[in-house]
Structure formats: structure tokens, C-alpha cells
Amino acid sequence: MAEQRRDARGDRGGREGAQGARERHAPDARGAEERAWDELVATARRTVADGLVVGTSGNVSVRVGDTVLVTPTGVPYDRLTPGDAVGVDLDGRQVRGSLLPTSELPMHLAVYRATDARAVVHTHAPHATAVSTLVAELPLIHYMAGDLGGPVRVAPYATYGTPELAENMRLALSRRTACLLQNHGTIAHGASLSQAYDRTAQLEWMCRVWLTASSVPGLSPSLLTREQVDEAGERLRGYGQRG
């Protein structure tokens, strides 16, 4: 009997230990989500400040574990507070918050399912949106296309928020970290919110350069070859500080 009581205490202790570990872990996970939400809101506000979106257009998400934090639909970014955090799982089931997630949730989830991305930024950047109405692929106007994986494709138009748009985007993003959405805008992903944002801004800048160069009467801009862009992409992988 004494041995049985010791076993029972041991089992109970093991269960209590496991529960305690989960309870200790929960605040850590919650804290990570809260920090990620603050960065997400700051990034969303930056898209407005930098003229990449107007009003509540565009959206931003970041993945923390198996939870995707995402901007809510129809709420101005300057009104968002820590208590407004919205989170879904990778199947789109809401697991955090009471506000409805962005209508473009299918696009964000498609990126996370198909890549190892940790953050996604979607905008209605004006120059990029203009280019999306003109070509099927952004002409190779600058070597920074190599940092996005190569020539930037344009995903065919589909109604916003639909699975069709998400699928068109997924195909256009194959082996790329950004693409244009026809008559709509841009989407870019990265290992962090800052990287996803930087790629978005870089794409908008390249579109502006191409539109500017193409607008000169009687002249056509010189373009790079795919080989030149690929070479630049290889060099860019080692760019910056190490460590």
C-alpha cells in the first residue's frame, strides 16, 4: 500500500509538474504575442505614413508559433490598442480577440502554408498598383529584383478576399518573396516584419523607377538580363553585417 501511495504521489507530481510547465510557458507565449502585436501595429501605421496604403486598405500579419496575428478588418491603424489583438490558427479559426480579422486572411494564410515566412505585408502602393495594370511581370529595371527572388510576377486579378485571389498570389510567389496583384496592389513576406516591409518598399520603389523611365518620350529604359539579376541576388544574400 505504501508503494502504491508513493506511485500515486509520483504520478500526481508528474501531472502537476507538466501542468506547471505549461502554466509557466503560457505567459511567455502570451508575452511573445503581445510584443509581436505591438510591432505589427507599428508596421501597419508605417504603411500609412509612407503612402503605401490609404485609410484601412492593406493589411499586415505576423506568425508567432502556430498563431497568426493579423490586422482587423475596417479599423484605422491609429485606433488599434494592445487589447485589439486578433489571432487565428493556420486553418483560419480565430483564437484571439473579438474583432474580425482582415478580409484578406486567405492570402496571408496561403503564404504561411506555402513558405517558412514569419510575416506578411499587403499594400495598395500606388506605383506598384499602376504597374500591375500594365504588364504581366515587372521589367528588370534594377538589380534589387534579385533580392525578391527574380523577376516580380503579376498575379491575375480576382475579387479581394477570395480563395481564387489567394491561389493566384500563391502561384505568382513561387520562388519569390514578393509579387504584384493585378489592379490591386502588392504582397511581400519575410523572416520578420521589418524584412517583409523592406521588400514591400523596395518593390514600390522599383515600380516607380520603371514608370518614371518609361515615361520619357522617344526613349525606352535599358533593362537587365535574368542572368544579371540572378548574379546580383547571389551577392545580396551575403550583404550586410554578419553575426
Cα dihedral sign for 91, 94, 96, 101?
Answer: positive
Identify the H or E element spanning 90: none
Catalytic residue among 16, 23, 104, 167: 104
The answer to whether 91 and 40 have CB atoms below 8 angstroms apart is: no
Within a 10 A sphere around the Cβ of 163, how many other Cβ atoms?
11
Within a 10 A sphere around the Cβ of 138, how many other Cβ atoms?
24
- Type of residue found at 140: L
Residue 104: active-site member: yes
Q: Convert 174-206 to b/e letters by CB count within 10 Å (16 or more is b).
A: eebbbbbbbebbbbbbbeebebbbebbbbbbeb
| Active-site residue set | 104
